[in-house]
Chains A and B, each alone.
Chain A
Amino acid sequence: MMGIAIVVGCILGVLIGFITPTIPYTVSQYLAIGIVAALDSVFGGIASNIKKNFDMKVFISGFFVNAILAILLTYLGEKLNVDIYLAAIIVFVGRMFNNLGIIRRYYLGILSQKKNKNKQIKKEETDN
């Protein structure tokens, strides 16, 4: 179900992306940092869904506020001639890996459970 939602969303997004016109180069760096924030939100959403503590308000507000803060940081960094956006990228990517770890463990757990069940079934068969 989750996989279907993501795949459909991605296909729709690519189609929309090809229709919309390209943006000026100066804006593109803000969009790039926004993309990293959105990617973080997606991973966070999937992880919280697995942990069964998904909250719509937290998810949506996190998506927008994170992206806006990252863009503002980039803008400030450009004015101060300091690459502050690197800090935002480090935080986002770090969280992405954390969330990825949660997702990975969950599915590994399911896999190992299935294997154990199979083994048990086989054992029972041989015992009989």
Chain B
Amino acid sequence: MKNKNAYIAIAIVCVILTAAITVQIRTMKEENSAVSIIGANSELKDSLLEWKEKSENAEKDLDKSLKELEKIRQASATNNNNAEEKQNELKKYNQLLGLTDVTGDGIILTVSDSNAESTSIDLSNLLVHDTDLRNLINELANAGAEAISINDERIVSTTCITCAGNVIQINGNKVGSPFVIKAIGNQESLYGAITRPGGYTYMLKARAVQVEAKKTSNIQITKYTGALTQKFIETSK
């Protein structure tokens, strides 16, 4: 009797076992195509994270070495009068290049994707594109802006603004809506240039994109965090 019970129990476990194995095999067969895609995706994600970490580390290293350089410069400047002059010159040029944090009066322009219902046929009209940012930067520079940044990405001589799918790349870094454009310069002329009738913000507003311009004093604009390197150019004689 005891033996019979044992056989029944083993048979029941066998039923569960084989049922589970069959279900598992069928699931794996069904999901096989999807699985490979998921695997590839996770690999890509991993490598992306790795590279991001590397780039962050490199940025930190750059920051450190820049600080060291600054220290060395100051140390050498204290010994020499001539060097101090050079130091000031260096600072001025760095500021011109956009390699220093700067403050000043100017305007802050906030541009974000429309949240209107998509009544228009072209959904693309409701979004802020790279060309929109380029045109706004152009307007600001034309009005005499001395320093411009978008979401803390400083606009320098090598800056490029490109479309990267659902985000925009500035200086190789991804930024997304809302875009906060800070510009330092003559407040009146900057504000006038941005809000003038028929200007670019007029066109943006016609597309239901949200644009808001504000005159602000003591705007902080951070420095360009990348490296400005030149491999191919030489000073012509």
Q: Which residues of A contact B (CB under 8 A)?
A: 1-2, 5-6, 8-10, 12-14, 16-18, 20, 22-23, 25, 28, 31-32, 34-35, 38-39, 41-42, 45-46, 49, 54, 56, 59-60, 63
Query: What are 26 residue pairs bridging A and B, where the CB atoms are less than 8 Å apart in the complex?
Result: A5-B10, A6-B10, A8-B11, A9-B10, A9-B15, A9-B18, A10-B17, A13-B15, A13-B19, A14-B22, A17-B19, A17-B21, A17-B22, A22-B30, A23-B23, A25-B27, A25-B35, A31-B20, A31-B24, A38-B17, A42-B17, A45-B6, A56-B5, A56-B6, A56-B9, A60-B9
Q: Which B residues lie within 8 Å of A12 (CB)?
A: 15, 18
Q: Which A residues lie within 8 Å of B15 (CB)?
A: 9-10, 12-13, 16
- Who on chain A is nearest to B31 by CB? A25
- Who on chain A is nearest to B4 by CB? A1
Q: How far is the CB of B13 from chain A (nearest CB, A)?
A: 6
Partner of A20, one of B2, B12, B13, B23: B23
The B27-61 residues at the A interface (CB cut-off 8 A) are 27-28, 30-31, 34-35, 38
CA distance A38 to B2 in the complex (A): 21
Q: Which B residues lie within 8 Å of A1 (CB)?
A: 3, 7
CA distance A35 to B8 in the complex (A): 19
The B198-234 residues at the A interface (CB cut-off 8 A) are none
CA distance A49 to B118 in the complex (A): 72
Number of interface residues of B (CB under 8 A): 30
- Who on chain A is nearest to B17 by CB? A38
CA distance A42 to B10 in the complex (A): 6
B69 close to chain A: CB less than 8 A: no
Question: When A31-B24, A35-B24, A54-B2 are in contact, do A14 and B18 touch as well, CB less than 8 Å?
Answer: yes
Q: Is the CB of B27 within 8 A of A22?
A: yes
Q: How far is the CB of A6 from chain B (nearest CB, A)?
A: 5
Q: Is the CB of A59 within 8 A of B9?
A: yes
The 5 closest A-B pairs by CB, nearest first: A17-B22, A13-B18, A9-B14, A9-B11, A5-B7
The B86-133 residues at the A interface (CB cut-off 8 A) are none
Q: Is the CB of A6 within 8 A of B11?
A: yes
B164 close to chain A: CB less than 8 A: no
- Who on chain B is nearest to A39 by CB? B17
Question: When A9-B14, A16-B15 are in contact, do A2 and B20 touch as well, CB less than 8 Å?
Answer: no
B163 close to chain A: CB less than 8 A: no
Q: Is the CB of B14 within 8 A of A28?
A: no
Partner of A13, one of B7, B8, B22: B22
CA distance A109 to B30 in the complex (A): 45
Most chain A Cβ neighbours within 10 Å, of B18, B22, B35, B38: B18
